[in-house]
Chains A and B, each alone.
Chain A
Amino acid sequence: MRYPPMPGPAAVGARAGSAAEDSEPMHAATRGSWLMVLVLALAFVLGLTLTAPVSAQEAEAADDTAAQALLEALDVSSFSAKGEAIEAIVRSDDPRARDWLQALLDGRLQRTDDGRFVVALDNSGRQWPVEDALTGEALGEMSRRDLERIGINNALRNQLRSAIAVVDLYAADVGLRRASAERLLGEVDGDLAGPLAKVIEEEPDARVQERLIQALAIYRLEQGEFAAIDDLRGSLHPRVRVAFNRVLNSDDPALVDGAREALNSIEQMLKVNRAVETLYFGLSLGSVLVLAAIGLAITFGVMGVINMAHGELIMLGAYTTWAMQQLLPGQPGLALILAIPAGFLVAALAGIAIERGVIQFLKGRPLETLLATFGISLILQQLVRTVISPLNRTVITPEWMSGSIAINDALSLTLNRMVVLGFALVVFAALVLIMRRTRLGLEVRAVTQNRAMARSMGIRATRVDILTFALGSGVAGLAGVALSQLTNVGPNLGQNYIIDSFMVVVFGGVGNLWGTLVAGLSLGVINQVLEPWAGAVMAKIIVLVFIILFIQKRPRGLFPQKGRAAEG
């Protein structure tokens, strides 16, 4: 793609001669049809009831005619013709050009039935608020039936982004300049190289400067300049690697050797990166497993109740998040935070209902508990399907959980998973504290170790049962809140996690919270290490087989309960 000259005051000096000539005919054309423009302008001015001096109006109107023609050119069906029209807009030096390009990029540039161009401010729903693309005047709401969108495709999207990036090189906002520099990596060509060198000199921000130097160096490398290798050494950006790989085919032996050596060191660093990445993936998957299983570690591990409806308690937590976001529209972050206590409460109450309604009557009959709770799980699923919807619900991820943190150019860690990892650890720590440091924890441990003895010591065993089950269920609700940020919120959410949860608890050692943590995290890491070469399906199978064999050898899991409690 060719780079158009840059608009804006800073660009004037940097403009390439050829480009300046290019724009000359357009001015000539404007002058040639001056009469027509004047007539049009007058018609336009008459249409507007402004009180500004006539000469200014005239100029503005003439400008708008040219601008209208520029936008007019976009309204063609061929994408290549649209590409040329975009280039014309960039060349036009119109101060509104950037806004138009951005609107076009966002799909908000529309044409009305009577040929006016408008920008939709919000294009959801059937009625859209719009403003005039030329005057910026608000035009109220229009039906999408009356508007025709100027469509673009991925190729044009690339072109627009590059064009905007070139404009933004001169932006006052450092954030825009950073994005622009990021974008230009691997996109610099002969037209841009000259002006870019000048921009680099004048750039105050070190990060932007460094990026632009690299961007320019890729171009220089492609031109066969040996010194460029030094500017690119150690960069992990994929575009740099692509540039080096291309140079390997060059006929300059010194350049090829230099590139090969630089590539080798890059590959070394990438290996380390990949290992760190896999570890992070594993811990992140592990944290999900821990979250899903930790509630079960209490109800199943500590109380010995096989609760097949555990997954549905997770689902309730996820739906609570959705409900909170419905109650607080426009504030997904706040809703998510409020969903933490709310999800806990909803799931805990559901847990109490299940315990009082069913499980207490089946004490000591594990097979019947299993079947009864499985029935409850089906009932809860269908209830959600009937009452809410069989369709998945949209849970919005707040800004601060979207995207990723770039550690370097090749390694970035996704934020939503990082937050969930942190959340899992906090929930775990809180649970350990409750079990070890509170009266409730003491009573729970007493009741599970020896129910009769605990009762004779004055502990109300029934109350402890309820509270423990509520705690385990509530934690499942918390898991649901976290999972709503990672996966589908739908009636089947729980089913996907119930098997994994039991697996983790059994592997870690029934009744041991630390076992659940270690088991969850290590299963996550094992799974992610296996996945690249075994595939997702095989990795799951291998992990299951591994656990079966492990349980054969150590039936009580990683961290078996010791002492008298173990025999109970």
Chain B
Amino acid sequence: MNASRRIMPYPLRSTAAALLSVATLGFASHAVAQQEPIKVGILHSLSGTMAISESTLKDTVEMLIAQQNEQGGLLGRQLEAVVVDPASNWPLFAERARELLEQHEVDVVFGNWTSVSRKAVLPVFEELNGLLFYPVQYEGEESSENVFYTGAAPNQQAIPAVEYLLNEVGVERFALLGTDYVYPRTTNRILEAFLKEEHGIADEDIMINYTPFGHSDWQNIVAEVRRFGSEGKKTAVISTINGDANVPFYRELANQGIDAADIPVIAFSVGEQELSGIDTGPLVGHLAAWNYFMSVDSDANYDFIDAWIDYTGDEEAVTNDPMEAHYIGFNMWAEAVRKAGTTEVDAVKDAIIGVTVPNLTGGYAAMMPNHHITKPVLIGEVQDNGQFDIVWQTPSTVAGDAWSDYLPGSRDLISDWRKPMECGNFNVASGSCGGSTAAEEAEAALAE
């Protein structure tokens, strides 16, 4: 509560605090407050380019809310979804976030997909002290007091995936292909440093290529990869190609006859949903690294899939990794609310650290002090039915690391939001909070 008292001047927080104090004093308004539904904000694009990925996440949260209400809601109150459409427009994300927190006074927000949109809403959530659950794998180098990162950090996806290629497949050359924006660029920088420093891969054995969003003519790049891979060393492609550009990319791979057994492609942004737009027959054996696959053999997963199919009414509906992240995030939030006995943001923020809920892969996910969660890392091979077959997984779950160990500047940083540290970028070398300018350094390096 100390932290929140310091920055209390905003209407939402004072109302929330007032409500809380009234409720605890046990006045008549207590009952009234209980009758009021708990408002859950959903901040996912329903139109524009990102609607393709984000609209299913909106449905997922709505389904989770419906399920929770069937079980009697939370703290005896019903949950109510407040849906806004930021229309794939990054500045609009910030406006909609403000609308959710100020006008609708929601207790929690589930939302965002792209890193740009997350960066856009970050100041709003910190200013108005909101709660955001962010469900997508991302580039790391960030830890906010108000954001819970339920997707994978690089050490929960990219690094284990590359280790799999090096150790299990015996890959010696790497082609890093990505879409030209912050996530692929940061991830590839981490991977490049990791490959060179930790595994002594030579410069000539790493090829890096960036393409614009929605790139559709892959002939030249795929031909280049084919040549790059025909030099006698085992070659793999690490793809951070985003969304729409993947369909023409995989089509070109198939047409140019690049077989997964010769040059496997491991993707960090391609899931079941992206594959549902492609005939996967020629792509069998290409890889993806995630923390969840629809093909996971666990009862929790089968129940989730059945519920999802019933909810959407579509027999062919697929589930994917960010949906699982929302499933985990939602249950963690609900558990924290139960533990705190209130939806008040600061109480929930304190209560949620250490909360453990089941994930869909048959294990458990725990919220760490750095606002990241523990996840198993799975490597799947594409099957001809559009699903992934899990060929490898980490022996236990991996805790998300907000600050990469392979980047200068971010190496010495840790994040711990528990008292008394309460710091998102504590520099262990200098012993001070915010002691490094890692974020600026990362951005400066990207600008080069």
Contacts and interface: CB of A to CB of B under 8 A. Distances in A.
A126 B385 CA distance: 11
Contacts of B261: 154, 157-158, 161
A531 B211 CA distance: 10
A245 B256 contact: no
A107 B248 contact: no
A414 B255 contact: yes
Interface string B240-257: 000010011001101111
B389 A486 contact: no
A284 interface: yes
Which of A153, A155, A402, A417 counts the most B-chain CB atoms under 10 A from its CB? A153
B51 A416 contact: no
A90 B217 CA distance: 43
B391 interface: yes
Contacts of A536: 209-212, 215, 220-221
A385 interface: yes
Interface stretch (B272-280, B414-422, B426-434): B272-280
B49 interface: yes
Contacts of A123: 383-385
B260 interface: yes
Given A382-B47, A536-B209, A490 B385 contact: no
A374 to B, nearest CB: 15
Given A161-B261, A536-B215, A488 B255 contact: no
A154 B248 contact: no
Contact of A277 (B169, B223, B244, B251): B223
A392 B244 contact: yes
A219 to B, nearest CB: 16
A382 B255 CA distance: 32
A511 interface: no
A390 B232 CA distance: 43
Interface stretch (A12-20, A22-30, A204-212, A393-401): A393-401
A285 B244 contact: no
Given A277-B223, A397-B279, A537-B210, A391 B248 contact: no
A159 B310 CA distance: 41
Nearest to A106: B384
A284 B392 CA distance: 39
B180 A537 contact: yes
Interface in A396-450: 396-397, 402-404, 412, 414-417
Given A107-B383, A151-B389, A242-B230, A394 B260 contact: no
Contacts of B47: 382, 385, 390
B247 A487 contact: yes
B257 A412 contact: yes
A393 B255 contact: no
Nearest to B215: A536
A554 interface: no
Contacts of A490: 52, 244, 277
Nearest to A392: B277
Contacts of B95: none
Contact of B273 (A154, A391, A531): A391
Given A151-B391, A154-B260, A385-B51, A487 B224 contact: no
B46 A154 contact: no
Contacts of A55: none
Contact of A532 (B51, B224, B248): B224
Interface in B44-65: 46-47, 49, 51-52, 55-56
A545 to B, nearest CB: 16
A278 interface: yes
B211 A528 contact: no
Contact of B212 (A238, A285, A397, A537): A537
Contact of A396 (B46, B279, B391): B279
A412 B256 contact: yes
Interface string B278-293: 1100101100000000
Contact of A145 (B51, B264, B302, B381): B302
Interface string A273-302: 000011001001100100000000000000
Contact of A241 (B49, B221, B223, B230): B230
Given A382-B47, A394-B279, A537 B220 contact: no
B435 interface: no
Given A417-B219, A531-B220, A245 B232 contact: yes
Q: Count chain B CB atoms within 10 A of each CB in A123, A161, A414 and give the residue with the most.
A: A414
Contacts of A403: 254-255, 257
B220 A402 contact: no
A492 B279 contact: no
A9 B246 CA distance: 47
A124 interface: yes
B248 A404 contact: no
A123 B387 CA distance: 11
Contacts of B56: 391
B160 interface: no
Contacts of A33: none
B214 interface: yes
Given A246-B232, A491-B51, A536-B210, A393 B219 contact: no
Interface in B172-194: 180
A49 interface: no
B387 to A, nearest CB: 9
Contact of B277 (A107, A124, A149, A394): A394
B203 interface: no
Given A245-B231, A486-B251, A492-B244, A281 B219 contact: yes
B413 to A, nearest CB: 31
Contacts of A241: 230
Nearest to B257: A404
A393 B46 CA distance: 17
A496 interface: yes
A535 interface: yes
Given A404-B255, A415-B255, A488 B247 contact: yes
A281 B217 CA distance: 9
A393 B278 CA distance: 9
Contact of B217 (A246, A285, A402, A416): A285
B15 interface: no
A488 B244 contact: yes
A540 interface: yes
A238 B381 contact: no
A540 B247 contact: no
A337 B222 CA distance: 28
B34 interface: no
B89 to A, nearest CB: 12
A126 B314 CA distance: 13
B293 to A, nearest CB: 12
B52 A284 contact: no
A471 to B, nearest CB: 26
Contacts of B390: 151
Contacts of A527: 217
Most buried by B among A145, A149, A404, A535: A535
Q: Which of B169, B180, B219, B285 has the most CB of A within 10 A?
A: B219
B216 interface: yes
Contacts of B215: 536
A79 B214 CA distance: 37
A532 B211 CA distance: 12
Nearest to A386: B47
B27 to A, nearest CB: 46
6 contacts: A157-B285, A242-B232, A285-B217, A414-B256, A486-B216, A492-B49
Interface of B: 46-47, 49, 51-52, 55-56, 169, 180, 209-212, 214-217, 219-221, 223-224, 230-232, 244, 247-248, 251-252, 254-257, 260-261, 264, 273, 276-279, 282, 284-285, 297, 302, 315, 381, 383-385, 389-392
Nearest 3 A-B pairs (CB), nearest first? A238-B230, A390-B51, A392-B277
Given A385-B51, A392-B276, A528-B217, 13 more contacts: A153-B391, A157-B260, A161-B261, A245-B231, A397-B279, A402-B255, A414-B252, A488-B244, A488-B247, A490-B52, A490-B244, A531-B221, A536-B221
